[in-house]
Amino acid sequence: MGSVAEAWPISHVCIIGGGPVGLISSILFRRHGFQVTVLEKNPTREEVGAGIQLHPNAVRVLQNVGVFERVRKTAIVLPHLLLKAYKTGETLWDQDFIADTKRYGAPLIALHRTSLQACLYEEALAQGVEIRHGVDVKPADVDLENGVLRLSSGEVLHADLYVGADGGRSAVREALTGRAPQPVPHGRVVMRILIEEKEMLARPNLRHYAEDGNMVVWLGPDCQVVTYLLDGTFNIAFTWPWSKNPTDAFMKPQPVDIDAFRAGLVGWHPDLLEMLSLTSGVFQWMFFEPTIDGDEVPWVDNNSRFVLAGDSAHQFLPYLGQGLAMGYESAALLAALLGKAKTSDQVRDGLAIYERMRKERTGLMIRATLRQGRLTQMADGPLQEARDRELRESPLPTAGCPNMMSDPFFQRWMWGFDAEKAADEAWEKYRRSCQSLPEGFVLVPRLRVMLG
């Protein structure tokens, strides 16, 4: 761990939100020598949630902070991705994740959100992070002018930097942008279904789905089903069409009559129907359109005291399994850049570099995610038949592959990202451009041009 010299402009970082991005941010900032406090609105550690996949770019962040081995103990390493036709069960595409693991030096894993959260929580505490529960920050608490948080309890919290890692309905984002989020339905819901592994193992035709440990994506008409094994549990995420009308939007999970739903799946493969018969008490969540922020939506305030990271800045649909990975990348880049800043000007410029780099990459990733969702959720017909043919008959994945995770160019861009390296390169570029500036030159506007 580095040490913060007295002259450094930031010593205390306050992170609002103790979710996965808030906790990894806290560990990353501690590693750079900052004092860190996390404010979490839940009164206790959250013990809910289904499964999550972490891809090599996310795992790399965990490796770099030294928590991967602990996370790995509760995770399944995914060996293959299979794309299957929803009626016949034919495997249209088989991606070898083990070969990808070798290429990127980090595996693809699946685990319970609660296990991931527990590992990060313990590491944060071990690193000396202060975690305060039951602190629900409201937009009105964010005092941008004075750079403090004025809680409704009357307490005033002072820090040198505040990271808004408070998720998709972020209070910090609302304060920065001056408007409450107005979610627009994406036209899909997701049912999260958990089946005990032993139930799968007891059924001869379902047994291999649990034993193989593969991630399977069933390509359905206007929908998709993702299945994989977690520690002792088989996880199913069923994405299904829903109204796009804003008046039909729901924010809280809704119960689903799974028997009635299953009865409506005429012509579907019997294995899937059997899996759905093994569960009850199913809930569904609504998906909302992701937004791609331009310069008009600030992620940093004018005084360079508040900054957004994770879902508060960039929310994703899960079609490429990249939501949390992007949050981890953002957290790692932010901490690495600010770890280099030694003056207030450098903090301001470091935050501007961060905002610029992350808006660019996450904007492209959001577009890619939407494209992948269209590719895996095609209505039955000539386009779907052409997609299936291309998957079935392509000898080797190449650019434009309908499974974007196999597209070698896109894959390298997605999974090869290393935040620490990116921060080093950006800082070096910045440092060199500073040397060429006349004294008194205002750097931030120029940075926008230079990195754009």
Interacting residues with ligand FAD (CB under 6 A): 16-22, 39-42, 52-53, 58, 135-137, 165-168, 171, 190, 237, 285, 310-311, 316, 318, 321-325, 327
Which CB, 323 or 427, lies closer to ligand FAD? Answer: 323
Which CB, 53 or 304, lies closer to ligand FAD? Answer: 53
Which CB, 53 or 346, lies closer to ligand FAD? Answer: 53
Say which DSSP state 378 is in. P
Token pair listed for 122: 């313990």
Interacting residues of 358 by C-beta distance below 8 A, sequence separation 6+: 299, 313, 314, 329, 330, 333
Are 397 and 403 contacting, i.e. CB atoms less than 8 angstroms apart? yes
Rounded to the nearest whole angstrom, what is the least distance from the CB of residue 269 to ligand FAD in the complex? 22
Other beta carbons within 10 Å of 196:
14
Residue 431 CA to chain centroid, in angstroms? 30
Which CB, 53 or 376, lies closer to ligand FAD? Answer: 53
Rounded to the nearest whole angstrom, what is the least distance from the CB of residue 307 to ligand FAD in the complex? 13
Nearest alpha carbon to residue 160 among 341, 290, 359, 1: 341
SS3 339: helix
Rounded to the nearest whole angstrom, what is the least distance from the CB of residue 23 to ligand FAD in the complex? 8
The half-sphere exposure of 102 on its side-chain side, counting CA atoms within 13 A, is 4
Which CB, 322 or 376, lies closer to ligand FAD? Answer: 322
Q: Which residue is nearest to ligand FAD (CB)?
A: 19
Which CB, 215 or 447, lies closer to ligand FAD? Answer: 215
| Phi, psi dihedral angles at 32 (to 5 degrees) | -90, 5
Q: What is the C-alpha to C-alpha distance for residues 198 and 376, in angstroms, rounded to an integer? A: 29
Rounded to the nearest whole angstrom, what is the least distance from the CB of residue 87 to ligand FAD in the complex? 25
- What's the N-to-C CA distance of the chain in angstroms? 33
Which CB, 92 or 308, lies closer to ligand FAD? Answer: 308
SS3 205: coil
Rounded to the nearest whole angstrom, what is the least distance from the CB of residue 235 to ligand FAD in the complex? 9
Angle, vertex CA 61, rays to CA 59 and CA 64, nearest 5? 110
Which CB, 15 or 275, lies closer to ligand FAD? Answer: 15
Nearest alpha carbon to residue 85 among 271, 317, 282, 278: 271
Distances (CA, A) of 192 to 52, 203, 279, 392: 11, 21, 11, 29
Interacting residues of 249 by C-beta distance below 8 A, sequence separation 6+: 183, 185, 286, 288
Rounded to the nearest whole angstrom, what is the least distance from the CB of residue 313 to ligand FAD in the complex? 8
Which CB, 22 or 402, lies closer to ligand FAD? Answer: 22
Rounded to the nearest whole angstrom, what is the least distance from the CB of residue 49 to ligand FAD in the complex? 8
Rounded to the nearest whole angstrom, what is the least distance from the CB of residue 37 to ligand FAD in the complex? 12
Rounded to the nearest whole angstrom, what is the least distance from the CB of residue 137 to ligand FAD in the complex? 4
Rounded to the nearest whole angstrom, what is the least distance from the CB of residue 45 to ligand FAD in the complex? 10
Which CB, 14 or 200, lies closer to ligand FAD? Answer: 14
Are 1 and 30 contacting, i.e. CB atoms less than 8 angstroms apart? yes
Nearest alpha carbon to residue 308 among 298, 317, 321, 316: 298
Rounded to the nearest whole angstrom, what is the least distance from the CB of residue 397 to ligand FAD in the complex? 21
Q: What is the C-alpha to C-alpha distance for residues 122 and 109, in angstroms, rounded to an integer? A: 20
Which CB, 19 or 373, lies closer to ligand FAD? Answer: 19
Which CB, 258 or 324, lies closer to ligand FAD? Answer: 324
Q: What is the C-alpha to C-alpha distance for residues 215 and 44, in angstroms, rounded to an integer? A: 32
SS3 362: helix
Are 214 and 94 contacting, i.e. CB atoms less than 8 angstroms apart? no
Exposed/middle/buried for 6, CB within 10 Å: 0-12, 13-18, 19+? exposed
Interacting residues of 224 by C-beta distance below 8 A, sequence separation 6+: 217, 218, 239, 319, 373, 376, 377
Rounded to the nearest whole angstrom, what is the least distance from the CB of residue 19 to ligand FAD in the complex? 2
